[in-house]
Chains A and B, each alone.
Chain A
């Protein structure tokens, strides 16, 4: 093995082990920032030693043992300093005993629980949304600050800053490293799911630019979702979200044309849909529904996606069922975007005039004023009704609102076709 080979192999080990390592260390030192530093020190030690010694048989255990040694070193060094202050002696001894007890307990405890604690902590509501995303990708995804910055098209120092601040907030607010129980669990879990879906959508929707990092975000969100489904197998919405992401990801090979232009769902070559992901998605959906999730937001969205996945051709789509699912979704999770989607489904089931009547109510909706899909959908209905002049101006307006260059080109094309 060359040095470059070993280096890439260590990267692979890091990707597999880092989240478990940081999670286990956080429980011992009770501070995410310190835990990450210790994990990084263990990684540095691996980079120094493994090229000569080879990768150990159990690299995860090696990294954990190394990091724990460092933790103890830090503790002892801290003790020596403090011993100079006689008044602190007693407190110190107590702390030392506590730390050793923690270390012992840590060895036998379940790694899975730590990972789950880490997910809940990284997605804690005390943090702003973009910090939850950055921290989750960094601590659980093992992504570098540079990779996160590239994926979200923000400068690297901004991401670094977000992560530093987030760790400090978690420490200042004394956020406990635990899986919430009882009534708190539902709200906290939805925060975790929201972060994962946000990451997925950032990769899937590509609101701006077209960096290669974006598909990696979808993969990462899916991977974390699958891990979460193993850690919290009784939570229907976890499986609902996984189902939704699996089915949406199944279309990724079909939703972009040969020159990078977006291809709309009904125009996609369905033979390019990934049947393996569809099967996984349908299985996850069945699990969510069996656990009583049928009426919950992610499971409902997955059920809608499943209607498309099951239809061999666009003409076979069960639009009546999709309309019913959107109605249920509008009840549990009302939003203008859901209404817009419901209008699209109604138009497919009952004709463009019915859809147009529904979107009419949305044109005054403040949150949709700069949402390109509203005029895009209106344009589509109007074009189908033969009202081409109105359709053209809607498509042009939609083109002026989207931040995605490929999408803009597609909308301008549709506008031109209305002449």
Chain B
């Protein structure tokens, strides 16, 4: 099973462009990332710049509409993610538990959909 674990740091939705985590937090997180790598479960990871540097494309009436960040109405924003390959949701949770997170941070455990989740989807010719 593959899981994406997005990290949601409270306040990141309002962070100024170019905001980066501090060196101490990076060091702790690097150690954690290495433990995932050494356990053979880490497939990919990335940190994301704050929404203030991004944009949103919405589709009111089915037509694309572009809004530049920041987005005042947003209550939270993803700060980065891990993609891991494990045997169960519980194993993903156990890995998330080991993250050196701060009081303002939340990790979500989200299973990646696989081909077998769509048994009716025949391959297109």
Which chain A residues have a beta carbon within 8 Å of chain B's beta carbons? Answer: 8-9, 11-13, 15-16, 55, 59, 112, 216, 219, 222-227, 230-231, 253-254, 257-258, 263, 269, 272, 276-277, 280
User: What are 22 inter-chain pairs, A to B, with CB distance below 8 A?
Assistant: A8-B88, A11-B90, A12-B87, A13-B94, A15-B88, A16-B91, A16-B94, A59-B94, A222-B40, A223-B40, A223-B41, A224-B40, A227-B40, A253-B115, A254-B123, A258-B121, A269-B123, A272-B115, A272-B123, A276-B43, A276-B44, A277-B43
Beyond known contacts A223-B85, A276-B83: 11 more, CB 8 A cutoff: A8-B88, A9-B90, A9-B93, A12-B87, A15-B91, A112-B38, A226-B37, A227-B39, A258-B121, A258-B123, A272-B115
Chain A interface helix/strand/loop/mixed? helix
Contacts of A59 in B (CB 8 A): 94
Q: Give the complex CA separation of A219 and B91 in angstroms.
A: 14
Binding site for A on B (CB under 8 A): 37-41, 43-44, 83, 85-88, 90-91, 93-95, 97, 114-115, 119, 121-124
Q: How far is the CA of A112 from the CA of B40 in the complex (A)?
A: 13
CA A226 – CA B93 in complex, angstroms? 21
Nearest 3 Cβ contacts at the A-B interface = A226-B40, A12-B90, A12-B91
Residues of B contacting A13 in the complex (Cβ-Cβ under 8 angstroms) = 94
Minimum CB–CB distance from B81 to chain A (whole Å) comes to 13
Q: In angstroms, how far is the closest chain A Cβ from the Cβ of B93?
A: 7
User: Which residues of A sit under 8 angstroms from B119, Cβ to Cβ?
Assistant: 258
Contacts of B121 in A (CB 8 A): 258
| CA distance in complex: A145, B40 (Å) | 22
Selected from A12, A55, A230, the residue in CB contact (under 8 A) with B38 is A230
* Cβ-neighbour of A15 out of B87, B93, B123, B124 (below 8 A): B87
**Nearest B-chain residue to A220, judged by Cβ:** B87
- CB of A12 within 8 A of CB of B88, answer yes
Chain B residues with Cβ below 8 Å from A8 are 88, 90
Least CB separation from A11: chain B residue:
B90
Minimum CB–CB distance for A244 against chain B, Å = 16
Query: Are B122 and A258 in contact, with the CB atoms below 8 A?
Result: yes
Q: Which residues of B contact A225 (CB under 8 A)?
A: 40
Residues of B within 8 A of A231 (CB): 38
Residues of A within 8 A of B86 (CB): 12
Query: Which residues of B lie under 8 Å from residue A223 when comparing CB positions?
Result: 40-41, 85
Cβ of A11: which chain B residues have Cβ within 8 Å of it? 88, 90
CB-CB < 8 A to B122: which residues of A? 257-258
Cβ of A280: which chain B residues have Cβ within 8 Å of it? Answer: 43-44
Bound CA–CA A219/B87 (angstroms)? 9
Q: What is the chain B residue whose CB lies nearest that of A268?
A: B123
Measured in the bound complex, the distance between the Cα atoms of B121 and A280 in whole Å is 27
Contacts A11-B88, A223-B85 given; does A16 touch B39 at CB 8 Å: yes
- Tell me, in angstroms, the Cα distance from A276 to B38 when the chains sit together: 18
The docked-state distance in angstroms from the alpha carbon of A28 to that of B86 is 29
Residues of A within 8 Å of B91, CB to CB, are 12, 15-16
Q: Return the chain A residue nearest B42 by Cβ.
A: A226
Do A9 and B94 touch (CB < 8 A)?
yes
Shortest CB-to-CB span from A153 to chain B, Å, is 20
Which residues of the partner chain B approach A269 to less than 8 Å between Cβ atoms? 123-124
Task: Kindly list chain B residues whose C-beta atoms are within 8 Å of the C-beta of A277.
Answer: 43
> Do A219 and B93 form a contact, CB below 8 Å, given A258-B122, A269-B124?
no
Which residues of B sit under 8 angstroms from A219, Cβ to Cβ?
A: 85, 87
Beta-carbon nearest neighbor of B119 in chain A: A258
Q: How far is the CB of A268 from chain B (nearest CB, A)?
A: 8
Contacts of B41 in A (CB 8 A): 223
CA distance A253 to B123 in the complex (A): 10
Instruction: Name the A residues within 8 Å of B94 (CB-CB).
Output: 9, 12-13, 16, 59
Q: In the bound complex, how far is the Cα of B36 from the Cα of A230, in angstroms?
A: 11
Which residues from chain B contact A272 at a C-beta distance below 8 Å? Answer: 115, 123
